[in-house]
Chains A and B, each alone.
Chain A
Amino acid sequence: GAGVSQSPSNKVTEKGKDVELRCDPISGHTALYWYRQSLGQGLEFLIYFQGNSAPDKSGLPSDRFSAERTGGSVSTLTIQRTQQEDSAVYLCASSATSGSLETQYFGPGTRLLVL
């Protein structure tokens, strides 16, 4: 079916506001990953879901960041009290399983700008 989709494509917000970013993985993919790509930086791992649980949250930069996944499908990344340094492209990826041979397929990302 369709690839990974993310919404919104672009988000401009004011410092201090909360934002929610959505990811729809490829249908049937059980593993879901969030990454962040800041200007001039490589993609940075944030969090990993297997089903609805998040066994690896080690990349979340602060407690202002949280994520959830429901129904083993859609995931939402929430950033509370946004700061200017949160401005980046937030990318979601999914894979069929978390097995060692599985490839991660990326969505187009959400470009977040915090003013």
Chain B
Amino acid sequence: GQNIDQPTEMTATEGAIVQINCTYQTSGFNGLFWYQQHAGEAPTFLSYNVLDGLEEKGRFSSFLSRSKGYSYLLLKELQMKDSASYLCAVRDLGEGGGNKLTFGTGTQLKVEL
């Protein structure tokens, strides 16, 4: 089965750095994705990791350790608009070769002044 855990809520200050952790126990693994979802909107792709290590994309970085079943999303220079839910998702090969995503429940980040 699939089990993905991430904190329910986090609060951080504008301009600061925040790290959102995700741990997973899955029967298969073909990459880990991070999505951002503002209330009432579609999840938007942020980053993905297939191999161990750090991937950096501007203010966002994501880290993966496959041996530990662990990832984190790092957000730097926080802005008010970063207040959103951050979804951790593990990709696995499904039946017929499709890449199905299994999501955690999301971490609601609140950025304060």
Contacts and interface: CB of A to CB of B under 8 A. Distances in A.
A70 B42 CA distance: 24
Contacts of B45: 103-105
B4 A98 contact: no
B105 A59 contact: no
Nearest to B98: A48
Interface stretch (B53-61, B62-70, B87-95): B87-95
B48 interface: yes
Q: B interface, how many residues as a size bin?
A: 20 to 34
A45 B94 CA distance: 10
B72 interface: no
Interface string A96-115: 00111111111111000000
A94 B12 CA distance: 33
A43 B30 contact: no
B13 interface: no
A31 interface: yes
Contacts of B94: 45, 48, 56, 58
B100 A107 contact: no
A40 interface: yes
Interface string A18-50: 000000000000010101000011111100101
Interface of B: 4, 30-31, 33, 35, 41-45, 48, 50, 87, 89, 94-106
